[in-house]
Amino acid sequence: MTLEDRKHQRTQLDYEDTEECFHVEVYDRRYVLNRIHDVSISGTGIQIPNEIEPGTPVKLVFRNAQRSVSVNGTTVWCDPIPLGLEPAPPEPAFRTGIQFDPKDRNCAVFFMTLRDFIANSEKKQT
């Protein structure tokens, strides 16, 4: 999938040391997400330490003290991040594209939660 194939505009999110928690569940494994490369109402790009085969069902989850929301999705692509890039990941990592399940009624709620989190994070940085 190329940038031109995307149906919706995407926004990047980096965060550390917050009370909020994003993670992705793949079968019986859970990966905490500290970097979300882009997000839209239809999907997101994430960075994780393990490869996920395209077509694999996943669940993305956001939790904080006030709410918990999740959305089901499918891995669309997964590529290794070459070591030595700036900023270089501290360990092997994979950029992974996730398409939200359009039948999942939480797509819009999950996107709005991420959008609110991004807006609040940007306010804290300025």
Whole-model pTM? 0.74
| CATH classification of the domain holding 81 | 2.40.10.220
Number of domains in the chain: 1
Full pLDDT tens readout for the chain, 126 residues: 444 454 544 444 444 545 557 889 999 899 888 777 778 889 988 888 889 999 999 999 988 777 889 999 999 999 998 766 656 566 778 999 999 999 999 988 888 887 777 676 666 655
User: Domain limits at 30?
Assistant: 3-125
- The confidence score (pLDDT) of residue 73 equals 96
Q: Give the pLDDT confidence score for residue 76 in this predicted structure.
A: 96
- Give the pLDDT of residue 66: 79
Contact by Cβ (8 Å): 47, 72: no
